[in-house]
Structure 1
């Protein structure tokens, strides 16, 4: 049987799959009591594996909260994210909302492989020359990503992955990829590429209740950016993932490759940029409303990865369902501790917030 609602005289019981991380520190600092019970908990910060195995086979009490939506992957799996964004754009076009549909232009031209290989080849030939990037849909931390400029490079990749476009049935066990037009004009700082990690908490999809954390960080490459052919194979130039950059000879563990970002500047171009980022996030969430399974027990903290190009246009690269909660540096720890402490406050297991403060429904600016 599920746990009873905690009272003012009893501590909240929590379970966590993530020991030695900042979320564990935050929960312990609040005086919550850890439990290893499968069901006797009030709050569970879990990995997605537990959800796959147990969530659909148990009954939760009304007050119990869990940190993933049941089909979270509709937003966080690379191919499904693009599929849902394209579907939303087409729906708006059919409804005659052409101005709003045109604003779904914040993701690169993308195809799912092997299913859309033929469409990709047509587009590749139509827009050649250019740089494209391949990403496996089920991996993180930059694994399996590579850039290319010629179709024969894909031919070699196909041989390595043992699938044939003309026989999709033979490809059922092959890892799926997406292929995207590479954004080759990133905004640079000190000649180096970076992307932004922005944290977004979603308490509900119907109606949509979402919060953007006002601090995040920029993840830099150690190497200077170059689009030269000989540098396309150098991940230290093109991929900002910490798991890749930490292996660079010039990496310094004390400073890392991250700069904290606080969204409070009064400069007009910065305010415009972050307004556009917020609207990008909002539109991506609105695109999920008709597919995400709403459950009152669920909330989710997402890590949005956003690239800014040299015209200050933000591009959505991907959304992470389990953003890293470890800390690489003291600054990283401070940022994540504050962010996660705010997340727990908003989930409001302790009933400290007035009800109306959690009832803000966000809609896109009609202007």
Structure 2
């Protein structure tokens, strides 16, 4: 059951949870009709349109539901979903093991250590900071990162990737710098990411320890977002991540790649065979710490005066990526991306409990360095569904409809149709 409560999703209007009445109440309505509810926000009208195309489905007016789509799962009670008749929801329990930045890093480190694989070959070097300034000394909390930072800052000619820490660390999680993260000049960049936010919210850049300390103090009080945002955000949990100094550029601009991943309640993992790259609005320049240069999220870039100047919506398709990379994106990059996606789910499979009648669509974000190596940046719940370009007007409705063909239609209509989702594995 779902309790009725107002919740606020990042960048979305307040939505109202519908309460799912116990299953025996469903007997009083037409057994040939199924009922759904879609919470407002994140292009919810597309979800409604997708359901309206399905026979025997009707939007609920009396809170008796077979399917609910919501921005988050704060009030979902997963244990009730399989008690009687089918009720399905669009979030997996424990998805935060991947979608919370700190949890993702922790789980990747544990799994890599146990399976003898170098975690910093998968995701950029990262440090987790849990900061409670009223109880802990800031320097002590940052001690591990500061020691590493001092060893590798460009002005230090005695760079040494060994023995940076006084305590033994497995070689597979030992901090190390990949070539694409290094820069010999003074434009060395690190990223500070609040743990609980997405769509670029709260991300800050810094070069020095003094700048980092000031940012952490600001977050503890409440820090203003970029010049295009309103209000403040507060956080005490962060990931400090090394910025990729040598990214692959498209026409001189930075980009990342959004990949959609579908996970069913049976832990079948799918990847949508189409996706897109998100480009910045400004030319790449390590000398400037400008969000419109370094953050490719559409939620950020849409505020730039150059948004849409180079391409509609600052987005290009996989086929265009193939053109830029002489076919290497499809041939070599995409298989590596698929491998990382599989690896991420293997890393958390023991922390997840399968829950009948729940599924989720995730937004994986990858970057390519100048050697075409893919790096996993983060994994998003409730990925943006806004059709902000002709490309996304084509891709997103198809992606959603095909996802429902896998997770909804077989349960209710017993119909199975081909889709553009490729099956990766079954956990």
TM above 0.5, yes or no, is yes
1:252 Cα deviation after fit: 3.5
**Backbone CA RMSD of aligned residues:** 3.0
2:406 counterpart residue number: 346
Say if 2:425 is the partner of 1:362. yes
Write the mapping of 1:297-316 to structure 2, written as runs, cut at 5 A: 297-316=357-376
Structure 2-normalised TM-score? Answer: 0.72
1:162 Cα deviation after fit: 4.2
Structure 2 vs 1, CA of residues 298 and 109 (structure 1 numbering), >3 Å: closer, same or farther? same
> Any idea what the Cα deviations from partners look like across 1:191-241, whole Å, max 9, x if unmatched?
011101100001146xx411100111110001011112xx12x11000001
1:62 Cα deviation after fit: 5.1
> Any idea what the Cα deviations from partners look like across 1:94-151, whole Å, max 9, x if unmatched?
xxxxxxx247721111111135522111211121133210011111221211111111
1:157 Cα deviation after fit: 1.6
1:155 Cα deviation after fit: 2.1
1:106 counterpart residue number: 122
1:43 counterpart residue number: 67
**SS at the partner of 1:47?**
coil
Contact residue 258 and residue 364 of structure 2 kept, 8 A: yes
> Any idea what the Cα deviations from partners look like across 1:234-269, whole Å, max 9, x if unmatched?
110000011211111122399211112259969356
Structure 2 vs 1, CA of residues 59 and 146 (structure 1 numbering), >3 Å: closer, same or farther? closer
Structure 2 vs 1, CA of residues 55 and 221 (structure 1 numbering), >3 Å: closer, same or farther? same
Contact residue 111 and residue 117 of structure 1 kept, 8 A: no
Write the mapping of 1:255-274 to structure 2, written as runs, cut at 5 A: 255-262=312-319, 267=327, 270-274=330-334
In the aligned structure 1, how far is the partner of 2:249 from the partner of 2:101? Answer: 25
1:336 counterpart residue number: 396
Residue of structure 2 aligned with 1:10, choices 23, 32, 36: 32
2:341 counterpart residue number: 281
Greater relative CO (CA pairs within 8 A, separation 6+): 1
In the aligned structure 1, how far is the partner of 2:249 from the partner of 2:330? Answer: 15
Residue of structure 2 aligned with 1:79, choices 95, 102, 106: 102
Structure 1-normalised TM-score? Answer: 0.83
List 4+ stretches of structure 1 deviating above 4 A.
Answer: 56-60, 262-266
In the aligned structure 1, how far is the partner of 2:61 from the partner of 2:30? Answer: 22
2:87 counterpart residue number: 64
In the aligned structure 1, how far is the partner of 2:36 from the partner of 2:207? Answer: 50
1:58 Cα deviation after fit: 4.2
1:326 Cα deviation after fit: 2.1
1:91 Cα deviation after fit: 1.5
**SS at the partner of 2:318?**
strand
**Runs of 5+ in structure 2 lacking a partner?**
1-21, 132-140, 155-187, 222-233
Say if 2:88 is the partner of 1:29. no
Structure 2 vs 1, CA of residues 217 and 8 (structure 1 numbering), >3 Å: closer, same or farther? farther
2:193 counterpart residue number: 135
Contact residue 122 and residue 375 of structure 2 kept, 8 A: yes
1:180 counterpart residue number: 241
In the aligned structure 1, how far is the partner of 2:128 from the partner of 2:30? Answer: 51
**SS at the partner of 1:215?**
coil
2:217 counterpart residue number: 159
In the aligned structure 2, how far is the partner of 1:227 from the partner of 1:124? Answer: 18
In the aligned structure 2, how far is the partner of 1:148 from the partner of 1:310? Answer: 23
Structure 2 vs 1, CA of residues 83 and 37 (structure 1 numbering), >3 Å: closer, same or farther? farther
In the aligned structure 1, how far is the partner of 2:291 from the partner of 2:342? Answer: 31
Contact residue 132 and residue 182 of structure 1 kept, 8 A: yes
Contact residue 315 and residue 389 of structure 2 kept, 8 A: no
